Amino acid sequence: MIKWGEIWEKSLRDLYVEAALKAIDDAGVDGIDAMYVGCMSSGLFVGQEHIGALLADYLGVTPVPGTRVESACASGGLAFRCGIMDVASGMNDIVLVGGVEKMTDVDGAGATFALATAADQEYEVYNGVTFPGLYALMARAHMERYGTTRKQLSMVSVKNHENGSKNPNAQYRMTLTTDQVENSVMVADPLTILDCSPITDGAAAVIICPLDKAAAIARKPVVKVSGSGHATDAIALHQRKDITWLGAVEKAAREAYAMAGVKPDDIDVAEVHDCFSIAEILTIEALGFAEKGRGGAVTEAGETAIGGRIPVNTSGGLKSKGHPVGATGVAQIVEVVEQLRGESGDRQVENARRGLTQNMGGTGASSVVHILEVQGLRGGVLSAASRLSGVRGQGLRYGSTSGQGQGRDLHGHTRRAVGARGRSALPHRRHRARRRRQDPVPDSRLPRR
């Protein structure tokens, strides 16, 4: 993982290329068929749009198609989902998914303006509200309705900074006390500055490929993506029935759990979207890790700490690790993969076999949930079939995931794996052309010349 923080000496393209090259190198591939980039607001942060083509160019992979994905702070998670669907459909075999944001090239007012574009401009932003204010409303409502305390909010930050202090790539590695959180500068009552995630420069990347291919080239344990869910809700907070409940998170989680065939109790470790301390409390309730209204109490009881019933945000979360908004969702995948491989050092969750990531935009108007599982050893390599896809990799620089499973596309045709070693990106394209001739598909899917 590249170090996150205020990285003055590197541009947006530098950050992305560094993370992408590390992912490609670790995955053992020397070419990609397509790439997806999660990025929320490069136009406002650095004045650069059209970054799908830009980053493909600076990575040196043109004419490979590059697609920019935007869903506010859920951009990275949604880019990952798009990459999964690309591979699972049989369209491409080796897909690079990255996330990037360069946020510190503007001042505080500029960053606030850019982030506020993820709220309802006509009903919320026009009237002066920003995200700290919106989440403060959610926090106050939760406190009034369920008895959530100021201390419980603080304990989210304390826990995540404790975890982040053990993450060498986290932006803020200092530990905190509840008194420090509560006595820090007030931003929007009851939220102080230490309840809020920071502004960050950073990038993350993974490689996605079919599961059989991942098993064949694996140099490290294969981790499959067994579930994926995506849902939306009203963007404006006042248009929701209950501002203390994240409906899109619940719906996305239900989809992911159903696809994976698991329940909340089957998850060993989770990375969730703690953009504010109250967000983690609301999220663990919507994911089924705590009963409605009990997220604060579960946190205070230590159930979400490493060693607890369901460790949450072992990376330090957005609060300590940082929150380069377009990269966060991909970085969550990376942390869970590290945990499932037993490579997280002092923040390792014992016997972690299945993990969950939850990434959301705005005040929960969009949410993406993924479930990942490490595979058992067989013949010296880790492999398994999946209905969806699998991931291999570690750290922000690693990761490949595998797609459809059993080497077949959605039409049932046998899928020929693109070579991992000794082939370049251009032969990948010739290989796909051969595959089209061998496996008949509807004429509508063939390229027109």
246 Cβ neighbours under 8 A, 6+ residues apart: 233, 282, 283, 285, 286, 360, 364, 367
Is-contact 255 227, C-beta < 8 A? yes
Q: What are phi and psi of 228, to 5 degrees?
A: -150, 135
Residue (of 186, 204, 203) closest to 195 by Cα position? 186
CB contact set of 68 (below 8 Å; sequence gap of 6+):
36, 37, 39, 50, 51, 52
Please name the residues in contact with 6: beta carbons below 8 A apart, sequence gap of 6 or more. 104, 171, 200, 201
Active-site residues, by number, are: 73, 323
What SS3 class is residue 443?
A: helix
Q: Give the distance, in angstroms, between the CA of residue 283 and the centroid of all CA atoms in the same chain.
A: 15
Give all strands (DSSP E) within 92-190, no chain letters. Answer: 95-102, 186-188
Contact 151, 163 (CB under 8 A): no
